[in-house]
Amino acid sequence: MTRALLIVDVQNDFTEDGALAVAGGDAVAERISAFLAAHAGDYAVIVASRDWHDADSDNGGHFAAEPDFRDSWPVHCVAGTPGADYDPLLEPAAITHHVLKGRGEPAYSMFQGATEDGQTTAAVLSAAGVTSADVVGIATDHCVRATALDAIAHGIAVRVLTDMIAGVAPDSSAAALAELGHAGAEITAS
């Protein structure tokens, strides 16, 4: 079985003190770095995504002055700003592919993004022969959920590693994990 690690949106704007801070985000970054130090060699590819929104647009309604925090949000992860950078507690050396998503449009799943040279996440995984993936990152109830569901839809066996995720809210995060389990993901600690 060829396995990938999918690291979702471990960015400054989603960790403590960010524009859309998720409690526990810095701890997730630290745990992922420690996990990579011990287990990077277990994966054929390690793909990390980042929101990378346009500065001069509402990004297809994704940004709003009065966001509903479901379909619209405050300004966050603007391309080239510190908020869009990886959290400094995430050590990126082992990451093999960096995916940017949400360029001018709403995007939650890393499967909606592409590398700098235009490769989609699906193409990266297919080229590496990936049949299973571990999913970690932020936020459980939004982009982790969407990424894991898309991986399942692409025929990939998914494990969500619960000790390396953080969600916006306990109820919506629990609902997302239940939905992922129902869709066939294994919900487990690393």
User: Which residues are catalytically annotated?
Assistant: 9, 101, 143
Rounded to whole angstroms, the Cα distance separating 186 from 189 reads: 10
SS (H, E, C) the chain: CCEEEEEECCEHHHCCCCCCCCCCHHHHHHHHHHHHHHHHHHCCEEEEEEECECCCCCCCCCECCCCCCCCCECCCCECCCHHHCECCCCCHHHCCEEEEECCCCCCCCHHHCECCCCCEHHHHHHHCCCCEEEEEEECHHHHHHHHHHHHHHCCCEEEEEEEEEECCCHHHHHHHHHHHHHCCCEEECC
